[in-house]
Amino acid sequence: MFENSGEIKKEVLKLKRKKNAVILAHNYQAPDIQDVADFVGDSLELSRKAVGVEAETIVFCGVDFMAETAKMINPKKRVLIPDANSRCPMAAMLKPEDILNARKDHPGAPVLLYVNTSAACKAEGDYACTSANAVQVARAIPEKEILFGPDANLCSYVQGMVPEKKFHPIPARGFCPTHLRIYPAEIAGLKKMRPEAKIIAHPECIREVREMADYVVSTAGMLKAAREDEAGEFIIATEKGMVYRMEKEIPQKKFYEVNAVCPNMKMHTVAKVRDALKKGQYEVEVPDEIAEKAMISIRRMMELVK
């Protein structure tokens, strides 16, 4: 039976108040979910915002590692994920044993992990970082040799920005399947049609795409760049859900999306958000011993980027 999206959204808003819940939506979520969310942003930004909210329940519309991070930062709150199968394929490319083996090959080198990792991996790391602060954290780490995982493209970007240090990617070819689908030819085609448009690319893109860009920044950085740059048009090289948020927040400018969809992010729907609120289903739990160890790397990151 077909359900009216508008009616479901109204139901979600009522349930949210009734259940004393807050809805967090990643920038790559579908428009309907962004519309009902209390906060829209990147994964760590959302988790940190939830700390100051009085709500008892967090409904996290993002992939698995994001909901885990929200739970670890907000241990006394209940965290629900609308679709339990929404998992990050890049995060799944790194296992805790990969980190342990890399340490043996590079004794003394600290482990810097992108937040796009499981809690079990974070528990084996020394520092965490986001795409927004990876360069800043890498520079602040005292050692000159660093193990970095799981995204080899972000590792390559950081290496270029911090050439005085040596970064070893773990695994050797970890990647985001969605950003890997953003091809230089597609960017060049869009640029040919819109020659005045500036190109903003995510650091998870391949090097060839990053080299074409006017800005290589996180999703939060994309909003900042578009607001501050005098250009009126932008080609956005990341998951296309980001364009919806940019159009809402900067309506006076034009944004052109690329053909990049994260199917795992799009598993969530407003109907599933409603069901999570109604039934309290798909609660996210992180074992205490893993959460305690994983939070060490997250706290270190927060201390370095104050």
Would you state the pLDDT for residue 228?
Answer: 98
Three-state secondary structure call for residue 55:
coil
Long-range CB contacts for residues 296-300, cutoff 8 Å, separation at least 24: 296/126, 297/113, 297/122, 297/125, 297/126, 297/127, 297/128, 298/69, 298/72, 298/73, 298/115, 298/122, 298/128, 300/126, 300/127, 300/128
**Per-residue pLDDT averaged across 169-198, rounded?**
97
Domains of the chain: which residue ranges?
A: 5-86+265-279, 91-177+288-304, 182-257
For residue 76, pLDDT over 70 is answered with yes
Global confidence as pTM: 0.94
Would you state the pLDDT for residue 16?
Answer: 94
Please, which pLDDT band fits residue 225 given cuts at 50, 70 and 90? very high
Q: Taken in order 33, 38, 41, 44, is the CA torsion positive or negative?
A: negative
Q: Which of 263, 289, 215 has its CA nearest to residue 89?
A: 263
Can 5-86+265-279 and 91-177+288-304 be said to share one CATH topology?
A: yes
Q: Residue 60 in contact with residue 284, Cβ under 8 Å?
A: yes
For residue 2, pLDDT over 70 is answered with no
pLDDT digits (tens, 9 = 90+) for 232-253: 999 999 999 999 999 999 999 9
Question: Which CATH superfamily hosts domain 182-257?
Answer: NadA-like (3.40.50.10800)
For residue 211, pLDDT over 60 is answered with yes
Out of 43-47, 180-184, 300-304, the most confident range is 180-184
Would you state the pLDDT for residue 136?
Answer: 96
Q: Does domain 5-86+265-279 have CATH number 3.40.50.1000?
A: no
Q: What's the residue count for the chain? A: 306
Q: Among 3.30.70.260, 3.40.50.10800, 3.40.50.150, 3.40.50.11930, name the CATH number for the domain at 91-177+288-304.
A: 3.40.50.10800
Span of 92-96, 196-200, 298-302 with lowest mean pLDDT: 298-302
